[in-house]
Structure 1
Amino acid sequence: MCDFSILFDGQTLATFVVGDRRWIWPAVATAVLGLLSILWLNRDRLTRQMLGPVLRSVAWLLLAACLVNPLWSSSRPRSGANVLAIVTDNSRSQLVSPDGTTQTRAAQFTVALKTGESSEPVGWLRRLGQDFELRRYTVADRLLQTERLDAVEFDGHASSLNSALRSLQQRYQGQPLAGILLLTDGNATDGAVDPELLKLLPPVYPVVPSEGPLTADAAVGQWTVSQSAFDDAPVTLQITPRIEGTTNGRIRVILADAAGTPIETQVRDVQDSTPLRFRHRPVTAGTVFYQIKVELLNAADDSLQPEATLVNNTQLISVDRSARPKRILYVSGRPNWDFKFLRRAVETDPLLSMVGLIRIARKEAKFDFRGREGQTSNSLFRGFDKADPDTVEEYDEPVLIRLNVAENELQSGFPQKAEELFQYDAIVIDDLEADFFLADQMTLLYDFVSQRGGGLLMMAGQESFAQGDYSRTPIGELLPIDLERRAEFPQGPVRLSLTRDGWLQPWVRLRDDETAEQERLQQMPAFVTINPTGYVRPGAIVMAQVEDSAGTQWPALVVQRFGRGRTGAVCVGDLWRWRLQAGLQALTNPQPDADQPQPKPVAGQPAEDLSDHARACRQMMRWLVADVPQRLEVKVRDDLTQGTGAVTLTALVRGADFNVQENADVRFSVTAPDGQVFELTATPSDTEAGLFEAGLSAAAAGPWKMEATATLADAAEAPLTASLGWASQPDQQEMQSVRVNRTWVDEVAEKTGGRVTDLDEVELLAASLPQADAPLSEIWSWPIWHSWWVFMTAIACLSADWTLRRRRGLP
């Protein structure tokens, strides 16, 4: 039975156990009789010399305690029964010498591992092998078991530390894994550590290399890519360089194209932590690749500073711009200037394609061409080749013309089926009354925005909004303005200005700075045609407004989110005056504006319209079709658990009615940086309907491109296609930082019950592990009375007592 325990740092080091309880009372009696005898025989000395009797009493009690056979008992790992995993991070980041010395981290690890594996003298690894069953591993992009660690090659392109810990937890689940000794710098490339995983792990003992003063090093650091409808520079790259080891000098950041040709360069002080922004306007659609380069300069900007590594000074970035133009259907009640200028503005934009459906006559045609005798159909509709000649439009139907359409597109006028309407990404309605649409067509438009996720914009023609009787109709419900309450018409010309919300939106502005934008607004002409709307719906945002000479204001541009899509209202009806003014100025002053980019003429293509009106139109149309769902949407998702460059290609397939399609044949054609093509067949996802997946190991560094093809069950429907690109940069990701990641190793050690150890102290760590808790332990006991120190202590006490007595002349 345990009488007491010895604790240290919350752990039980040893326990005192009474081996023979039958001798407890005889031992107590012996101790008491002996103490009484000592006190009686030494009663004269108690007042003069207390030390002698005390020493004699200690010796007597110690000998009396041996009668109960006292035992020291402690637990220790059962020799060879517990597993200890030794994991070495053999990624290329260990080849860095952060302090500028000739010895890299890899060299430090190699020396320590060779010492541990040596047999003469016995190394620390071999000593651990006497108490544990050692399992040796290396980890780079994945966990690999090895026989020895003294010949490790540090050539891995990743540090999948989190995946390695998860793999060990799964591999040794239910087995006596006593701990994990991890030699690493803590720079994991497979994301943040999972707190739930750490709860399941045995103690982890990170061993980190020694780290002195760091050599200067510059890296690309953090970067983000955003796209907007801003016409001058729709792509914005924000770069936050990482500077380590120095506070002096300057840093130069270069934005280049995929071929390395510089586009823009920015230089700033090293101590300035403000992110750098690069704006660029790609020429083509599809995936565009950029290179980011950083260089560490001296204070004079005339030479480069030496760095710990140059691998992390470059980064390849991919920007996905839709390869398929977004299609916009423009429906107008009459030919007008707005459609002419809007179509001219977007015809050179590779991301936009505008289809026109223009009514040139109402139900009763105002003119006719003579036909053959006996023909009763409207002559303007002859040639539409309908199957039934009797269904060709009669005189009581509107006369429509189609512009920029396919052969069979919009032959029946405005679409009446979801499959026909949902092929467009946005609808623009201008100068068209509500009676033009059938009830089913209005409901279809409502579903187009709310469920399909398309965009709807109503222009301010004379038969739009309340003047077109859209109040209390499904289309009226979509608009961001309240048509039930009307406002007074302005008494004279009005001037346009931006609201606070409008200033914050890049697609509403045309200039980068406020001063230039204010000057542009002042140069705009006054407008005289407005569809007055005094009230906007809750949740809608007024981006621009107009004001008359009396100071009365009316909304000019109102937008809102609606369901999955978005809607907008342009309340100014003569925006074409803006474009005519620009054309007149171009005639009177043919010199181009130096601040505006000039289009490069391309043979066989119209010149790009760079007037402010055209740019505003393009930006508004890009906003209208932004984030509109497509029938085939492809993505690339990093799969960090499968090794270097591993990705999962996904494709979400929708039918013509934009319901997900599970019955489809999806294939990926992937082109590697060296031109090699991989053909992959996707399989349906287990978690989401209509989603198809395929795995790929894209370990080669450089730009990767993928084209997806989805063949639906309906053989009459053409296959869907989509493309995407991404950049694989395993070395840059591995070399992001040259500093030991103390945060990662401290968190892992603390939450698993281990401790962080410097590489110089690894032998001390190895010596302490056999005394640590282990899944399989054994009780080790030994008798105290059989120890030499017990009797030596008793003899020493009696000898000291005798010496004291002899010094005083006592027998």
Structure 2
Amino acid sequence: MQFKFYWPLWLLIILLLFSAGGTIGAYLALSTPRLSRITKVGLIGLRLLAILILIFCLTQPIRIGQENINPVSNLLVLIDTTSSMGLVDVQEKNTNRLRSRLEVVRKWLFENDLGRTFSAKSDLYGRIEPQFYQFWDDQITKIVPDSGTNSLLPKGYETDFQASINQVALEWRGQPLAGIILISDGGHNVGAIDFEEIRQLQTPIYTLGVGNENQPSDVQIKKIEVSPIVYVGQKAPLRATVYQRGFSRQKTEISLRNESNSISSKTITFADETTILDQTIDFEIEPKAEGSLTYTIQLPVLEGEATAENNQKSVTIRAVKSKLMVLLVDGYPRWEYTFLKRTLKKNADTEVEGMILKTSPPFSTKSDVKSIEAFPTKIADLLKYDIVVLGDLSSSQLSIDQKRILVDYVQQFGRSVVFLSGAVSLGNKGLLNSELADILPILAPKGCLFSETEVDLKLTPLGQQHSPMQLSLDFDQNQKIWHNLPALSGWFRNFKLKSSAIVLAEHESESIPILTYFQSGLGKSLLLSAEGSWRWTFESPLQKSMADQISSGSHYSRFWLQTIRWLSARVSNNPIHVTSARINYQIGETIELIVYAYDANFMPMTQKEIKLNVIPSDNLSFQLSTDEVGTGVYRSTFTANTTGRYIIQASVSNSEDEIEIQVDSNTSEFDKPYLDKELMSTLASGTGGIYHQIDNVSAEELADLISAPSKPVYQTVEHQLWDHPLIFLFVLTLLGGEWLWRKRCGLI
């Protein structure tokens, strides 16, 4: 106890002595009426006790105490509700009944009231309050455990531990976290987990595994490898990779079909799984007509399989006419010209005519050296070619009329031009300041600057999707190939992109566009603003993927042949053109659509209302709105929620265009149809948490493991003892009792 008073102690003592002396003297001096000794002592005692209490209050006594002020700590409970959590593979204890993984989770949450358990375990370190979330794909929502567990249904096609953990950690940033409980089967399938980034959250993660950790019996189509562009009337190889476990040496049928038409079927015998789990089966396809074609590989459902969701896979390709005519033009016989011409000549599906343009003789009839007049001067002559490749030319090496018909060739007739640039063509006397500037994707009135330093390429997000950039059908392998390609010998800078230009590849460290695509009128142009792509012919054989072995040839030839095939696909003469980066998507993916709109004079139409109608295979069509993202360029996106073929129709001002895309099932959730205990354990141990199988741990055991994140914090609290109504009532009772006693004795 402590006292707070501002009077000197001696003054309080004098006040006490004076009050006590006055009271005692007054009662002892009374002669009438005559009072007994006991009465006098009693009255004096009551008065003195009241005086003592009042003087005690004047000292302002207080009691000093310590109060625990720890805030509530939150425990974040993340529940995986992606598709794989619907697998039925958990045997109920003491029965032969199998439950789905989410049924097990719902039952565990019902039997283990985490909120009540942690509330009962509150200690000096404060209270821990669980917060419940479910996550799937890129979604994460909060649920109430009492009523929300009934909404825990399998959905979604991707499991992303990293994004989900980061999202809830960000939501509760700045507030004390006791930890994170992650309930899942460990089926993370979105990239590699950055464990160091998760450790930096400084939050322990306690993982609860759900499912059977023993790999179940299953067969699946892992991937299909085929060239994205094939030729009408020619056979093309198609390879399927099949995975199996639990069906060693068994026979089954594998079939290939196009739409509903069966093309081929084969009887296969699964290998001994102790030596090999993956097998490849080769088919041949032979398109009969141009257009988009969807092929499906299918396996029957075998007895004892964990899931049938991964027994088929589809791929959509584009069939084009067999022979393409390419006009290859350059200003001098450089390596870019030589290697590209050699590649196109070797390919049975392209015919190439080469020209090295000179302004003065001699002109040899046995070489490619030609006079300027050799280049077509009439649009009819130029239209014999499906695509034109322009090398390192100065503006003076083409006449004004030749340059004008090249612009018409692109904008009005829907053809394509590749600019295989050099120091002359992108210099101040090159093509940037000529009539061809209209179809180039960049602006540089003073010409570009050339850097004679090697450059490695990095694909942009759009480039990762575009078919010409697919040097392997495997995404990670494709990224690796581009990263490991020989460096280009030099690159150009000091230019600006036009508003609707699309960058497919850029400088790995400078983020300068290197490969740029541009829609101009009805046609397209492609600019390689670097030199040395011919170096790609010298990549190591070790860099070749399985897909390369199927299609043969170097990455250099594959890139240029795919690029020329893609650019040669022409649109109609309608002044509206709708495109998508790919023709193959998986359910749940976001599909981006770009619409180019032009008027009758092929000038971009701005501020127009573009109508986009999407017709899925179930014919439940819906419309999309668009945003203008460039001059005459409009963008829209939607998420594919059903499988099958989608027809996308775009229309404006009585003109329309349409494309088709294919959406297939996303089976990545079933690539590992077992509990990944290793991943769950690694995630827990790396953050200071602990892994448990969900059936082997209770809420009470978790409460013993998980503590509040901080030491107890106390604050000093002062309790005033004198400022209390009971003291006032007690003093009033003493003085009132004295008054009544005195009255009874006749003193009043």
If the length of structure 1 is used for normalisation, what is the TM-score? 0.45
If the length of structure 2 is used for normalisation, what is the TM-score? 0.49
